[in-house]
């Protein structure tokens, strides 16, 4: 059995990028079909990133004036960098007039799914794309398999890969799935979710004698925390007591509120940008186009920035028959992507220990951190990048 459908834009992936793109296209009168290999429940329950930049929140507020970002989410006007137990606050509004919001990605997804389905968006779950054909022709096609094993072919005027780091759209654009600019890091984050009240009002990024830890949050009674670990660490090898001991030792100056740990994971650190972000009538956005290490909280925000650029370009292409913005998409998106790559790499390198870390590296790293926290220019750069460059 094979079914064929036709649309203007085929979007592979119903994550934040794919869903927001379908919304912006609909606003511009451009029709799309969104597919995702996951079920709605899986999409809504996978706990991922937590920090939204000012520009992301401005967009979500424009899309839906009743967005729960402002009721369920929490505005954060700063973060703390903690150096050897000594706290330094980065005051975002005071430095750059902007803030960030703590609002988990799966909540953004719940909001966007409800909004898109409520508007009659053609959005199909449990549909797995296997390849994209004919991106050089006028009618590229996404070939997919639905939940019953039947083939679904989506013939479109344009195909967008919003399908994450294992994108199946990427090979149609870049020739291979791996061709790109790449860096792997010799460490990872051990992450936990626990049932406890917050231990501090704002996030703490701590470079301690015992290594790095990040104290983040998810809600009033669920907290997210991380500490640097080996990339091959087994998330189940440590007892809860050992995890708390490790975390407490890395945030000198704060007694962490402990509670039942109900999720643990190891996050690998990678930086990646695909060599090609667009080819013919197909383009990549979000993790399909790039990966950043989590330290700068840039992943989801960068995906949404790509989408804003691409939506304008597709609007011009479909509405005004003007291909200039789509021809410039890779270059325009790359400028922000590489700023975010640099920021994520820089935050990572300032806070983590490399395996060969010696006393020189240690002292130099503290010198670097001090040159940020003790200088208004340094704090301003950090605040500007963390809250997100204006689009
Ligand atoms: C998170 O809460 O998951 C989080 C927050 C800030 C980061 C990275 C991750 O820099």
pLDDT digits (tens, 9 = 90+) for 26-47: 999 999 999 999 999 999 988 7
| pLDDT digit string, tens, across residues 170-193 | 999 988 878 899 999 999 999 999
The catalytic site residues sit at: 76, 205, 294, 298, 386
| pLDDT digit string, tens, across residues 56-70 | 999 999 999 889 999
* pLDDT at position 158: 98
Q: What's the chain's average pLDDT?
A: 96
Ligand 1 binding pocket mutation candidate from 199, 216, 345, 347 (most atoms within 8 A of CB): 216
In ligand 1, which atom is closest to the CA atom of 224?
2
| pLDDT digit string, tens, across residues 120-131 | 999 999 999 999
| Nearest partner of 201 among 185, 220, 186, judged by Cα | 220
* pLDDT at position 220: 92
Q: Name the CATH superfamily housing domain 2-50+104-179+275-346.
A: FAD/NAD(P)-binding domain (3.50.50.60)
C-alpha span between 349 and 340 (Å, rounded): 14
Ligand 1 midpoint to CA 106 (Å): 14
* pLDDT at position 342: 98
Q: Give the N- to C-terminal CA distance of the chain in Å, as an integer.
A: 45
Instruction: Give the three-state DSSP class for 376.
Output: helix
| pLDDT digit string, tens, across residues 90-121 | 999 999 999 999 999 999 999 999 999 999 99
Q: Which CATH number is associated with domain 185-269+353-387?
A: 3.30.9.10
C-alpha span between 206 and 209 (Å, rounded): 10
Residue owning the nearest CA to atom 6 of ligand 1: 297
Ligand 1 midpoint to CA 299 (Å): 10
Q: What is the pTM of this model?
A: 0.97
Instruction: Mention every residue, 6+ apart, whose C-beta is less than 8 A from residue 221.
Output: 195, 196, 197
Domains in the chain: boundaries: 2-50+104-179+275-346, 185-269+353-387
Under a CB-based contact definition with an 8 Å cutoff, are residues 261 and 241 in contact? Answer: no
* pLDDT at position 160: 98
Pocket of ligand 1 (CB under 6 A): 49-51, 203, 214, 216, 224, 294-297
Instruction: Mention every residue, 6+ apart, whose C-beta is less than 8 A from residue 213.
Output: 204, 206, 225, 226, 227, 228, 246, 247, 250, 251
Low-confidence ranges of the chain (pLDDT < 50): none
């Amino acid at each position: 059995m094979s079914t064929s459908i036709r649309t203007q834009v085929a979007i592979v992936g119903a994550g934040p990028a794919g869903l927001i793109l379908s919304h912006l296209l609909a606003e511009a009168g451009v029709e799309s079909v969104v597919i995702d290999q996951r079920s709605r429940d899986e999409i809504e329950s996978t706990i991922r990133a937590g920090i939204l930049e000012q520009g992301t929140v401005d967009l979500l507020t424009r899309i839906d004036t009743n967005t729960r970002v402002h009721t369920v989410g929490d505005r954060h006007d700063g973060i703390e960098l903690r150096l050897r137990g000594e706290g330094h606050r980065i005051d975002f509004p005071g430095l750059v007039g902007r803030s960030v919001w703590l609002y988990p990605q799966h909540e953004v997804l719940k909001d966007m799914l409800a909004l898109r389905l409520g508007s009659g968006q053609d959005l199909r779950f449990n549909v797995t794309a296997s390849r994209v054909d004919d991106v050089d022709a006028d009618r590229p096609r996404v070939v997919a398999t639905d939940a019953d094993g039947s083939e679904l072919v989506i013939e479109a005027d344009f195909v967008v890969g919003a399908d994450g780091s294992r994108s199946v759209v990427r090979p149609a654009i870049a020739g291979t799935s791996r061709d790109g600019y790449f860096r792997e890091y010799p460490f990872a984050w051990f992450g936990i979710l626990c049932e406890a009240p917050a231990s501090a009002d704002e996030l703490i990024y701590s470079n301690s004698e015992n290594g790095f830890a990040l104290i983040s949050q998810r809600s009033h009674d669920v907290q997210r925390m991380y500490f640097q670990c080996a990339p091959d660490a087994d998330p189940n090898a440590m007892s809860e007591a050992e995890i708390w001991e490790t975390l407490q030792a890395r945030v000198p100056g704060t007694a962490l509120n402990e509670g039942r740990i109900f999720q643990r994971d190891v996050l690998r650190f990678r930086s990646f940008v695909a060599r090609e972000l667009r080819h013919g009538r197909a383009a990549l956005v979000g993790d399909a186009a790039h990966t950043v290490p989590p330290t700068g909280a840039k992943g989801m925000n960068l995906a949404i920035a790509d989408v804003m650029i691409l939506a304008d370009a597709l609007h011009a292409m479909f509405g005004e028959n003007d291909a200039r913005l789509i021809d410039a998409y890779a270059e325009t998106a790359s400028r922000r992507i590489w700023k975010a790559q640099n920021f994520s790499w820089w935050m990572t390198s300032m806070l983590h220990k490399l395996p060969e870390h010696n006393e020189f590296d240690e002292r130099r790293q503290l010198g670097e951190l001090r040159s940020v926290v003790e200088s208004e220019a340094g704090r301003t750069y950090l605040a500007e990048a963390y809250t997100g460059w204006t689009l």
